[in-house]
Chain A
């Protein structure tokens, strides 16, 4: 019944909707995770120090202590990856949660594959402490050699300007995870930036033109509407 690849990582699930809590608990247990499901923010904060989760799935809208409060208090103590569960349309909430220290988000209703993929990416990042030590990042036909500062698509070299390269490496560093517009702007343009999203959109369009076979339907550089961007990790076979 367990899946060999998931090796007993501990997941704390916080959602006040019993049906979702039960389903996610059952699903993750079936995939070999050790799951603890709770229905309130108070309970989550009480259980976390003893349960020592490797990952938390946190619903934002809760009665009493809400998801934001749980994120804030968790970040005061640990760097446990947090994936936010939120309904579509609440983009502002997602951005706020990410800026408060959440690592990623899932929009309800979410697919099971999507949930499992996000959980695995978050756990891998936490284990490696960022991108890790690989000098070359690969996703499908895209390869970024971070030591030699060389970018190739399907083995053909691509010329990038310094800003484009900085933007790409920022995404590579957090590959698989969402980055808010503000986070990308600060990282690439500097700490005094944050609200100049149009810069970002312009450079992202140029980057797509150079890296994507079909810039209108990007394979690597995904837009997360209203939130930011995500560099997808695509299997080599594509």
Chain B
């Protein structure tokens, strides 16, 4: 970039040089037909008009006329015009200069406008991209960087929606932004007129008079109601300050920035509300499920205990035993549900640490199924187990809970009288245990989701909390194992889990 005074004077110097060269050329060429030779000046005027605008063109035209008159036409070295043809020549020069200059200047302005629009569009596109940044600070940072590069200023700071970010070449420029007690140029966009800078002096004359290394400009970002939602602050060491192009660019950028920020704020709010609503729904589903599952066994216990207490009926010994058995069985069921709830909360809190020791798996499976005889009584239970398996490192009570949940799930989801098969093998460094039922099976798209807490298969009402499988998965994963469901060949479901047979390396 040229220093400002040079940039202003240079076109005039060049025009003068051009006129001088033409004059010299004609003079050296002897004495040609002056009328035709003078046309060479028109070239200079035209070039000046196209390249530098009307003012330089008129300057060239006047200079050409005087040079022509002074150096070339008779009488030489006077400005008197004897020949009326020369008057016509002067008029021609001036007319050409003005008309061409006007046309060229208009053309140039349109080209500049187009370029400015293009530039503005480019900046807005970049800002739109910047708005996809994950945080508002980072968005504003990108916008500040982009504006600083585009406007060629020393520092840009953007403040919007409670966030702010700055971009600067050095600390001095950045400091200039924060000094509000000084003369600043404020961008005025109101009244529908073209955006322009208005100079505001601080209240103290002393400060206004202080020499400042930077000029500071400020463009407000206005909200829908015209309120100031934020602003863009600029600092430049250029003495000339900020030009109209910068004003127009900022006037275009500011509302876009506000609208985009507003959109992202609304989107964030909607997302937050949605998250809250879903979390509420999940909590109320949890409460419904838990209260249903806790109350169902309680209902049996209360009714059985109340029946035993009935003074009006003389119960037989067998009837008493049945009521007592119902109370015990349902109390055990409550205990399993409470165990699952506690496990689930530990799994969710990440505080599950299996207390691992070496156990023989077949004994564990037989132990669990013996305890669950009451639950499986209505089904045909098949145990497909070897006599013994190599010991496996596991937390006994947790794997007990996993198997209990799988067996309870199988019994609950298959009709009485059907077969439930339990298998256990050690193979390829893993213990694999499977529970297979002859129930209606699980739709393929549900096979994975059934391990999510409180998920229930479509069309299946109120059968269980949906806690058991989620807990089983959490416990198995805490053993570095896997659990899955698949369709059994017979049409029912098969739930399997594997855990490694070697202890984890510390």
Chain A residues at the B interface, C-beta cutoff of 8 Å: 1, 3, 17-20, 22-24, 26-27, 30-31, 61-63, 66, 87-89, 108-113, 115
Given the known interface contacts A20-B299, A115-B303, the answer about A1 and B329 at a Cβ–Cβ threshold of 8 Å is: no
CB distance from B413 to the nearest CB of A (A): 10
Number of B residues near A (Cβ < 8 Å) is 33
**Which are the 7 A-B pairs with shortest beta-carbon distances?**
A112-B306, A109-B299, A19-B300, A108-B299, A61-B462, A30-B313, A109-B302
18 interchain pairs (CB within 8 A)? A19-B297, A19-B300, A20-B296, A20-B303, A22-B326, A23-B303, A23-B304, A26-B319, A30-B307, A30-B310, A30-B313, A62-B462, A63-B461, A63-B463, A66-B461, A89-B288, A108-B299, A110-B299
- 8 Å CB contacts to A: which residues of B271-323? 288, 291-292, 295-304, 306-307, 309-310, 312-316, 319, 322-323
Q: A203 to B438: give the CA distance in the assembly, Å.
A: 58
B330 at the interface (CB under 8 A from A): yes
Q: A19-B326, A61-B462 are in contact. Are A112 and B296 (CB under 8 A)?
A: no
Check if B349 is an interface residue, CB within 8 A of chain A: no
In the bound complex, do residue A30 and residue B315 qualify as a contact, i.e. CB atoms below 8 Å apart?
yes
Question: Is B6 at the interface (CB under 8 A from chain A)?
Answer: no
* Distance in Å: Cβ of B361 to nearest Cβ of chain A: 31
What is the CA–CA distance of A26 and B303 in the complex, to the nearest angstrom? 10
Hey, which chain B residues are within 8 Å of A18, CB to CB? 378
Indicate if B444 sits at the interface (CB-CB under 8 A): no
Query: Is B460 at the interface (CB under 8 A from chain A)?
Result: yes
Contact yes or no, B302 A27, CB < 8 A: no
CB-CB under 8 A from A62, the residues of chain B are: 461-462
Whether A19 contacts B330 by the Cβ 8 Å rule is: yes
Alpha-carbon gap, A26 to B462, bound state (A)? 25
Nearest neighbor of B310 in chain A, beta-carbon distance: A112
Q: Give chain A residues whose Cβ lies under 8 Å from the Cβ of B304.
A: 23
Whether the pair A111, B326 counts as a contact (CB closer than 8 A) is no
- Return the contact of A17 from the options B300, B302, B309, B314 (Cβ within 8 A): B300
Closest B residue by C-beta to A1: B314
A14 to chain B, nearest CB (A): 14
Q: Are A113 and B306 in contact (CB under 8 A)?
A: yes
Q: Apart from A66-B461, A112-B310, list 18 A-B contacts with CB within 8 A.
A: A1-B314, A1-B315, A17-B300, A19-B297, A19-B330, A20-B299, A20-B303, A22-B322, A23-B307, A26-B307, A26-B319, A62-B462, A87-B292, A88-B295, A89-B288, A109-B302, A112-B309, A115-B303
Residue among B295, B303, B313, B329 making CB contact with A31, cutoff 8 Å: B313
Cβ–Cβ contact B313 & A23, under 8 A = no
Contact: B296 with A17, CB < 8 Å? yes
* A188 → B minimal CB distance (Å): 34
Question: Which residue from chain A places its CB closest to the CB of B315 in the assembled complex?
Answer: A30
Identify which of B288, B301, B303 gathers the most chain A CB atoms within 10 Å of its CB. B303
